[in-house]
Structure 1
Amino acid sequence: MLLYVTLGATDLERSGRFYDAALATLGIERRVTEDDELGYAYPSDTRCRLWVLTPYDGKPASFGNGSMVTLEAPSRAAVASFHAAALANGGADEGAPGLRPFHEHFYACYVRDPDGNKLSAVCERAE
């Protein structure tokens, strides 16, 4: 359903360190590095689905209240690794890894990237 998602960044070098570390735990890799954008994809994907970029209008990056990008994790261990890597690379905790009440196997964590964008990693498998 989604073609791609973009997230604004104030400092791409800082954001690159955060996203490279956090997304690697989910098997997602950086494929594009430009002066104004970074592109990420799964190894099996033919195109980048997540872009981190400086805003086109030249204004400072900001986050949307109520906005969140949720990434699929292959295991509960990957959710925990994502959370730890995010915090170790400038992210902020918004909810430690654990089961949530959305359904029986909804295991998630929540973080903010260095610019305040909210991210979640979720495993919906029984493990």
Structure 2
Amino acid sequence: MQTRELHRGRLIDHLHLVVRDLAASRRFYAAVFEVLEVPMGGSADDHFWADELFVSTAQSHSAQGRLTGRVHLAFQARDRAMVDAFHRAALAAGGTDNGAPGERPYHPGYYAAFALDPDGNNIEAVFHGEARRSAASVKVTF
């Protein structure tokens, strides 16, 4: 029997979005990450990244000349106020409203807001409520 420890943020190694307008995407994600307290990791002329998210132009070597299709990304928020701030920042930075902050029927305490980024990706900030906050890491036995 083997025990492995899983940590928040480790299910996905990385996600790569290929966008039409890198400057517009950089403004959008920089504003969103600022209120979510996620530091930008770095950038170059054809890409930028933060934590596990990598965003590039179609001309970058790793994109192979193709844009990605529409995706849904959900970022964890610390509390409801952070979800509200995410929504305001996303719209102020060129995003389009895709669901104002509020409770959702997914489970009790699910509070989220949605905005479309400049390429139409559905970006969400979610706070799962106090009951689910403590599940940051879990031990799983195989």
Counterpart pick for 2:13 among 3, 6, 24: 3
Q: 2:128 matched to which residue of 1?
A: 124
Q: 2:64 matched to which residue of 1?
A: 57
Task: Please tell me the residue identity of whatever aligns with 1:23.
Answer: F
User: CA offsets, 1:27-71, max 9 Å, x none?
Assistant: 112111112111112xxxxxxx11111132224x3532xx30110
TM-score normalised to structure 2 length: 0.77
Larger Rg computed on CA atoms: 2
CA contact (8 A) 1:39 1:51 kept: yes
Counterpart pick for 1:75 among 79, 95, 111: 79
SS of 2:120 mapped into structure 1: coil
Could you list the structure 1 runs, at least 4 aligned residues long, displaced by more than 4 angstroms after superposition: none
Percent identity between matched residues is 38
Residues in 1 aligned to 2:100 and 2:93: alpha-carbon distance in whole angstroms: 16
What RMSD in Å do the two structures reach over aligned CA positions?
Answer: 1.6
CA contact (8 A) 1:94 1:110 kept: yes
2:37 counterpart of 1:31? no
User: CA offsets, 1:54-108, max 9 Å, x none?
Assistant: 132224x3532xx301100011000010010000011001100000001111000
Greater helix content: 2
**Runs of 5+ consecutive residues of structure 1 not aligned to the other structure:** 42-48
